A and B are shown apart, each in its own frame.
Chain A
């Protein structure tokens, strides 16, 4: 048929229900563990019960005799893997994923074997029956801020930035804050546990997986198993949340191993308790913040040092001190991320890595400084708005933090706030309000996309994007529709398949921005090629894009999303209970593609802030080295009853120099949210809480040791 009329109405910017929404509310959407396979083998991982040691023996013989058991894989029998490579994200593989390669156990919950059986019941019983004998070695998981073996480490950013004379500027300051802040070990816990099914067919490896980037997982598996990437296909159509935890993990590798050995499809799913060891986590942090200011609140000195923890087998740095490099300038400015290696599982990226714990410390310290200076906390921040990147010296792309605070203050009723702490009471509750700033980088990474004009007048977009709940599939539909000049109903977006070529992962708040750039490029070129009324051949007309060169040509600027967080809390001084009563977040985050889903992503991040401020804490037992209560009862995440009215909105954030105009919004919502709540708790009670979570016992004992 011929090309049809184009629409002038823009799809981007108006609310659209998710294109896969009907499948999700009817149960028809198939997640990784939902896709049926004939002759499926069920794999069950066996994890170490010691925190450090060596495997002496694994009694696989008796287990192989159990009903339905097909295989036991361990370091004596598993295929050898290649681990000496740098993956797509520029990082080396986490050795935890290279399962069954040696007899060393570096932490509790290290995968030591995989049992495969014909049914899940048989696999579970066999795995739980597998006797593993260890030579136990002493372990060290004692984390604190004074470890002499903590050393500066780069990770995803340089370890240290330094300018000016800290000691001199602190000495010359009218007001100084010098405090320590701590955040605990936190876990992602997407509702869908990690699951992968691997099978070989006609010499090609296929993996149905739950991940944040199908092309990324292909790269890792091809490297690990020394395969041609072209012979590996990973599909991940629906993903039940990720938050940074769904990269390559032990389960995909174990599934591929078992499928290779058994020549049949094998599924390996992590159990919820296993996720505490194998899904990654956010390291605890100990942060010291020193701020020095003139009497009018202008910062002379800013020193932010963060210590985090990693495993002995793998280094991941939680860069808590990074956020100050973007947010505030000072004559003397020092930031430093250090890490200490302990006998714990691998930490990893978790929603706003660095910014989430870092902003808790920094934005709490600013509130303390505001108190000392006798300046409103919003005024203090606005007086310290930097002209250029405090560390980079680069100009800012539009930095609309001020607009966020002004709009937020107006809507929250900030002007009527009495700054004095501990003076509002309502029955048994002390009431307070708090605020904090948020920011998150707006990056982009090379991606490819293909857009096809179909013979039936529809358009198909193919890109290896992942929709982990972000609404990316719908957002890309709207972006493509506008770029093509057609109604979104005429566009089908296919994602989650490595066969579509390379694309950025759903991570770093870079996914939708990166994919949109690729989709806009391909769709825009296709639109130019299609003359009105021209005939479309049966196979359609396809245009492909690759944004590598375009991104390399972008001028370097400080480009970020910003936000102003507001919280009102009620604190019961008799029980120590803290209730968040309302939250408001106003964000400047580029062009908002789909207001319906964007609102949920912002508020979801803010609710993560509630969870971080009040609930989440994985406590490791020093004696056995593992988390206590490693399940969703022992690790509390916010549920319905914890969540009051939470509202998010945004201000205009147009950037004429940005070819996309879209920024990621997955992470900025959590940044500063916990600080706003902690600052509100101070305002309610007059007591500062510098350690998260703000548990009832901490509220009850707070101030007694001050």
Chain B
């Protein structure tokens, strides 16, 4: 007897329950985009290399293209459509808007979801490759521009709005002053004004 190739699943997305039959091959990304009309999550490569489809699963960033929809059952998924507080933008969204942290906007939902997840990781004390001291007992690394760049490197922006994305993430984190200093390291030659 042939095994079933589809199942009825329930997805929790942005605080809402969605019960739907899905082909077992359906990725979370395609379920969002093609079945639930949540097209804010973008398909940039469909193979986990660009970060455009980054969503939050139980608060942690994940690329929706590498996750099957059936495997997302029971997890609380937050997409770009769910990060604002009603009509009030999330501070990361507001900072991207104000500081022009994007150009074409296609990687933007992934960058914003990734930044929200990244700030939570940083707040939880997780180190990165840019952190000087990665021992468990070490104090949390300050959120320098280097830290932001390292931690956001899974999100490609081909328009290359990286400079303003980093500024936006820093502003949203309330780290303007510290990051502004870190963005201009002491180097040979005059620091650019």
Which residue numbers of A lie inside 8 Å of B, CB to CB? 17-18, 20-22, 24-31, 33-34, 36, 119-122, 125, 188-193, 238-241, 243, 269, 271-272, 411-414, 416-417, 424, 426, 431, 433, 468-471, 568, 581-582, 584, 596-597, 599-601, 603-605, 607-608, 611, 631-633, 637-641, 643, 645-647
Q: Can you give 6 A-B contacts (C-beta < 8 A)? A: A26-B40, A190-B106, A241-B104, A272-B47, A641-B130, A647-B163
A-B contacts counted at CB < 8 A amount to: 212
Tell me whether B189 and A191 are in contact (CB under 8 A).
no
B98: chain A residues within 8 A (beta carbon): 17
Q: A192-B44, A241-B106 are in contact. Are A604 and B153 (CB under 8 A)?
A: no
Partner of B159, one of A17, A30, A120, A241: A241
Tell me whether B44 and A607 are in contact (CB under 8 A).
no
B44: chain A residues within 8 A (beta carbon): 191-193, 272, 632
Check if B192 is an interface residue, CB within 8 A of chain A: yes
Binding stretch for chain A, among B56-64, B119-127, B132-140, B180-188: B180-188
Tell me whether A27 and B149 are in contact (CB under 8 A).
no
Tell me whether A601 and B103 are in contact (CB under 8 A).
yes
CB-based closest 5 A-B pairs: A27-B40, A240-B106, A469-B104, A413-B190, A24-B105
> Nearest chain-B residue to A28 (Cβ)?
B40
The majority secondary structure among interface residues of chain A is mixed
Check if B171 is an interface residue, CB within 8 A of chain A: no
Partner of B152, one of A469, A640, A645: A640
**Complex Cα spacing A417 to B190, Å:** 10
B43 to chain A, nearest CB (A): 7
As a 0/1 sequence over residues 163 to 193 of chain B, the CB contacts with chain A under 8 angstroms (1 = contact) are: 1111000000000000000011101111011
A651 to chain B, nearest CB (A): 15
B97: chain A residues within 8 A (beta carbon): 17-18, 21-22, 25
Tell me whether A568 and B100 are in contact (CB under 8 A).
no
Q: A413-B189, A639-B153, A645-B183 are in contact. Are A25 and B163 (CB under 8 A)?
A: no
Tell me whether A640 and B165 are in contact (CB under 8 A).
yes
B152: chain A residues within 8 A (beta carbon): 640
Besides A27-B109, A191-B104, A243-B158, 8 more A-B contacts (Cβ < 8 Å) are A25-B89, A26-B40, A119-B23, A240-B104, A240-B105, A272-B47, A411-B192, A607-B162
**Complex Cα spacing A125 to B148, Å:** 39
Check if B107 is an interface residue, CB within 8 A of chain A: yes
B112: chain A residues within 8 A (beta carbon): 25
Tell me whether A604 and B156 are in contact (CB under 8 A).
no
List B residues 73-108 near A (Cβ within 8 Å). 79-81, 84, 89, 93-94, 96-98, 100, 102-108
Partner of B103, one of A412, A470, A632: A470
Most A CB contacts (10 A, CB to CB) among B43, B107, B149 go to B43
Tell me whether A27 and B81 are in contact (CB under 8 A).
yes
Q: A411-B193, A597-B100, A603-B163 are in contact. Are A582 and B45 (CB under 8 A)?
A: no
A570 to chain B, nearest CB (A): 9
Tell me whether B39 and A600 are in contact (CB under 8 A).
no
> Nearest chain-B residue to A275 (Cβ)?
B45
A584: chain B residues within 8 A (beta carbon): 192
Tell me whether B105 and A646 are in contact (CB under 8 A).
no
Q: A25-B112, A412-B189, A646-B163 are in contact. Are A469 and B81 (CB under 8 A)?
A: no
B42: chain A residues within 8 A (beta carbon): 31, 191-192, 240
Check if B41 is an interface residue, CB within 8 A of chain A: yes
B153: chain A residues within 8 A (beta carbon): 639-641
> Nearest chain-B residue to A25 (Cβ)?
B93
Tell me whether B45 and A34 are in contact (CB under 8 A).
no
B148 to chain A, nearest CB (A): 7
Check if B33 is an interface residue, CB within 8 A of chain A: yes
